[in-house]
Amino acid sequence: MAIIIADGGDKFVVRAGSLSFGVVVFTVFAILTITLLVSRRKLNIFGRAELGGPKVTKYISCSILFLLWIIYILLSSFLAYGYIPGF
Protein backbone atom coordinates (compact mmCIF):
# COMPACT_ATOMS: atom_id res chain seq x y z
CA MET A 1 0.00 0.00 0.00
CA ALA A 2 1.33 3.41 -0.89
CA ILE A 3 0.25 6.61 0.80
CA ILE A 4 0.76 9.84 -1.10
CA ILE A 5 0.29 13.10 0.77
CA ALA A 6 -0.97 15.98 -1.35
CA ASP A 7 -0.14 19.66 -0.90
CA GLY A 8 -3.12 20.29 1.37
CA GLY A 9 -2.19 17.42 3.68
CA ASP A 10 -4.82 15.12 2.18
CA LYS A 11 -3.89 11.47 2.00
CA PHE A 12 -4.36 9.50 -1.18
CA VAL A 13 -4.16 5.76 -0.50
CA VAL A 14 -3.23 3.42 -3.34
CA ARG A 15 -3.72 -0.25 -2.55
CA ALA A 16 -1.43 -2.74 -4.22
CA GLY A 17 -3.39 -4.76 -6.75
CA SER A 18 -2.74 -8.22 -8.01
CA LEU A 19 -0.36 -7.59 -10.88
CA SER A 20 0.17 -11.30 -11.47
CA PHE A 21 -3.56 -11.80 -12.17
CA GLY A 22 -3.54 -9.13 -14.86
CA VAL A 23 -0.34 -10.47 -16.41
CA VAL A 24 -1.65 -14.03 -16.53
CA VAL A 25 -5.00 -13.03 -18.05
CA PHE A 26 -3.30 -10.75 -20.58
CA THR A 27 -0.79 -13.46 -21.53
CA VAL A 28 -3.49 -16.09 -22.04
CA PHE A 29 -5.58 -13.74 -24.16
CA ALA A 30 -2.50 -12.65 -26.15
CA ILE A 31 -1.67 -16.28 -26.92
CA LEU A 32 -5.27 -16.89 -28.02
CA THR A 33 -5.14 -13.79 -30.24
CA ILE A 34 -1.85 -14.77 -31.86
CA THR A 35 -3.17 -18.31 -32.38
CA LEU A 36 -6.23 -16.90 -34.13
CA LEU A 37 -4.11 -14.65 -36.36
CA VAL A 38 -1.74 -17.48 -37.29
CA SER A 39 -4.71 -19.76 -37.98
CA ARG A 40 -6.22 -17.11 -40.24
CA ARG A 41 -2.96 -16.95 -42.18
CA LYS A 42 -2.45 -20.72 -42.54
CA LEU A 43 -5.93 -22.26 -42.92
CA ASN A 44 -8.01 -22.34 -46.09
CA ILE A 45 -11.26 -21.79 -44.19
CA PHE A 46 -10.08 -18.24 -43.50
CA GLY A 47 -8.97 -17.76 -47.09
CA ARG A 48 -5.34 -17.72 -45.96
CA ALA A 49 -5.85 -14.06 -45.14
CA GLU A 50 -4.79 -12.60 -41.83
CA LEU A 51 -6.90 -9.46 -42.09
CA GLY A 52 -9.18 -10.19 -45.04
CA GLY A 53 -10.80 -13.30 -46.43
CA PRO A 54 -14.40 -14.43 -46.45
CA LYS A 55 -16.86 -12.14 -44.69
CA VAL A 56 -18.31 -14.80 -42.38
CA THR A 57 -14.97 -15.88 -40.93
CA LYS A 58 -13.81 -12.26 -40.82
CA TYR A 59 -16.82 -11.29 -38.68
CA ILE A 60 -16.43 -14.37 -36.48
CA SER A 61 -12.77 -13.51 -35.86
CA CYS A 62 -13.68 -9.91 -35.11
CA SER A 63 -16.35 -11.08 -32.65
CA ILE A 64 -13.91 -13.40 -30.90
CA LEU A 65 -11.31 -10.64 -30.49
CA PHE A 66 -13.95 -8.17 -29.28
CA LEU A 67 -15.24 -10.77 -26.80
CA LEU A 68 -11.70 -11.37 -25.48
CA TRP A 69 -11.31 -7.61 -24.95
CA ILE A 70 -14.65 -7.37 -23.08
CA ILE A 71 -13.80 -10.40 -20.92
CA TYR A 72 -10.41 -8.87 -20.06
CA ILE A 73 -12.07 -5.61 -18.99
CA LEU A 74 -14.68 -7.48 -16.95
CA LEU A 75 -12.11 -9.67 -15.20
CA SER A 76 -9.95 -6.64 -14.40
CA SER A 77 -12.98 -4.77 -13.07
CA PHE A 78 -14.17 -7.73 -10.99
CA LEU A 79 -10.68 -8.00 -9.50
CA ALA A 80 -10.57 -4.27 -8.72
CA TYR A 81 -13.98 -4.34 -7.01
CA GLY A 82 -13.17 -7.53 -5.07
CA TYR A 83 -15.72 -9.84 -6.72
CA ILE A 84 -12.97 -12.32 -7.58
CA PRO A 85 -9.76 -12.94 -5.65
CA GLY A 86 -6.38 -12.35 -7.24
CA PHE A 87 -3.35 -14.58 -6.83
- What are 55-82's pLDDT values in tens digits? 999 999 999 999 999 999 999 999 888 8
pTM: 0.77
7 inside domain: no
Residue 35, domain extent = 19-81
Q: Return the C-alpha torsion angle 3, 16, 30, 73, nearest 10.
A: -80
- As a whole number of angstroms, the distance between CA 33 and CA 8 comes to 47
* Coarse DSSP helix, strand, coil percentages of the chain, rounded to the nearest 5 percent: 60, 10, 30
Percent of the chain with pLDDT over 70: 85
Answer whether residue 45 is part of any domain.
Answer: yes
Of 53, 27, 55, 30, the C-alpha closest to 41 is: 53
In a domain, 36, yes or no: yes
**Cα–chain-centroid distance for residue 58?**
20
